[in-house]
Structure 1
Amino acid sequence: MGHVTVYDVARALPGIGELRDHCRGLAMLDAVLSPEWDGRYYSFDAHWGDGDVDGDGDGDGEALASMRNGSGDEYAVVFSASGAYVRGFDHESPMSPWARRDDPEPWPGVLDSVPDAFRPYVTEPAFCEEDGVPTVTCCLWREPSDPVWRTGTVDFPTGGDADGDADGAGHLFELLVDRSAEAYAAWASYYYETEVDVRAVRHVLALEPLTSEVVAALNPDASLADLARDIAGIGYPSPGDVVDCLEA
């Protein structure tokens, strides 16, 4: 997905609930394909803030969906009672705060219009460098009453590498925009260097409870019992006896 900006992503993302569920599915797929957390691309922490966001809209906790590609690119999506806040960072973007090294700061317009409800995430230490500069090249958000996703008013740079995907949104959010099983399977086959079963991917993205057969179809070396902690951490729907493995 190239030659787009955060504006295009804002038009293509689904509602908050659907996005949250899709992020949980992506994280569960990566947990099966990459048992070692450090090797994963997509993650989801249903217990990131106080309380628990379990997908049904109840509670006032915060959940965090995240992506990191190991090369410096990343995103974070915070789901809370206030809605959803999305931050993306492309380390090679001309809009990086460090592209102007004399005085690093976010690109004008990217964060200027963030509502008060999401302002704490702008300065959240996990989303900033040690000097407090937000690690961001694109940002969007949606409150529960919003009919669409919102962004700031950004004057994108032009010329050279800035043409097209100037803020990195196109490749950062590619699998949030194209939410098909085929898109994930194609990406994961390349990233994890293994054939990925599309039917099993479809099962997980639909948040159907995991079975031993689905897990084996994705990764013969993984087991349902081994995934119990990930299932609970992601908040992925599961039979009770799987979660009970945590107490064993």
Structure 2
Amino acid sequence: MAVHELVRRLPEPAVVRRVSRALAVLDLVLNDDARTRYYEFDARWSATEEAALMRDGMGNEYSMVFSPDGVFAYGFDHESPMSPYGNDMVPWPGLLDGVPDRLHAQRDDKAFWDPLGAPRATVCFWRTTDDTAWRCGPVENADADGADWLFELVADGRPEAYLTFAEDYYERALDLEPIRHVYALMPLTEYVVTSLNPQRRLSDLTDGIAEIGYPRS
């Protein structure tokens, strides 16, 4: 699934944001080490923006910035032949073509650019508030861009998909019901937290929940 298929599969921006927030809360509950969390969500990215972030600890990552003008996303598969690090630090042809002016600030955010002068990206897509569909540039030969696995959970949108991922990543059996609770953005309870991770308590999560912008009771 290259980016061209991904933009056809992605749900509406509100769903992508909801799922992204849920992924961050689930990883917050399951992993008490902030350095090794897979998914994060920063509700305070700027005065007007929120950001969903993924880092797998092996050099692969993505970012989705939600602004009043729309959503802009980068994904980076470090093994992809489309990586700028294997192409003289030049973005893959067509990758950034067509990004609307109103999303240039997100496109050019130095948080996602290498100091050598290219975005850390093999995938790029966006959707303005005026769009009726997700969009990407006229990228050719993008089959190895990493879009299929980088954005798998946000494209799928189901709690069952996270269950499969988390049981593999954290190497533990998990219950589906508390995951459904979080995907619905229902306020966390002590029962939900301890059902997912008996070593965690709701009081441990206060700062993280605030950063993510997850609803409170």
Q: 2:137 is matched with which residue: 130, 152, 160?
A: 152
Q: 1:143 is matched with which residue: 128, 137, 140?
A: 128
Aligned residue in 2 for 1:161: none
What is the aligned-residue identity percentage?
A: 48
Gaps of 5+ in 1: 51-60, 158-164, 240-248
The separation in 2 between residues aligned to 1:96 and 1:135, in whole angstroms, is 8
1:180 lines up with 2:158 in the alignment: yes
Deviations 1:117-137 (A, max 9, x none): 111222211101112211110
Pairing 1:27-42 to 2, within 5 Å after superposition:
27-42=24-39
The aligned amino acid for 2:193 is: V
The separation in 2 between residues aligned to 1:91 and 1:75, in whole angstroms, is 11
The separation in 1 between residues aligned to 2:190 and 2:96, in whole angstroms, is 44
Note if contact 1:123-1:132 (Cα within 8 Å) is conserved in structure 2: no
Q: TM-score, normalised by structure 2?
A: 0.97
The separation in 2 between residues aligned to 1:118 and 1:87, in whole angstroms, is 12
Aligned residue in 2 for 1:134: 119
Tell which structure's C-alpha radius of gyration is larger: 1
Q: Runs of 4 or more off by more than 2 Å in structure 1? A: none
1:48 lines up with 2:45 in the alignment: yes
Q: Give secondary structure in 1 for the equivalent of 2:195.
A: helix
Deviations 1:30-66 (A, max 9, x none): 000011211100000000111xxxxxxxxxx100000
Q: TM-score, normalised by structure 1?
A: 0.85
Deviations 1:172-217 (A, max 9, x none): 0010111111110111011011112111101101101100000000
1:193 lines up with 2:171 in the alignment: yes
1:205 lines up with 2:197 in the alignment: no
Note if contact 1:48-1:63 (Cα within 8 Å) is conserved in structure 2: yes
Shift of 1:12: 0.9
Aligned residue in 1 for 2:2: 5
Aligned residue in 1 for 2:85: 98
Pairing 1:200-239 to 2, within 5 Å after superposition:
200-239=178-217
| RMSD between superposed Cα atoms in Å | 1.0
Gaps of 5+ in 2: none
The separation in 2 between residues aligned to 1:18 and 1:178, in whole angstroms, is 10
The aligned amino acid for 1:70 is: G
The separation in 1 between residues aligned to 2:71 and 2:62, in whole angstroms, is 13
Note if contact 1:63-1:78 (Cα within 8 Å) is conserved in structure 2: yes
Note if contact 2:159-2:183 (Cα within 8 Å) is conserved in structure 1: yes
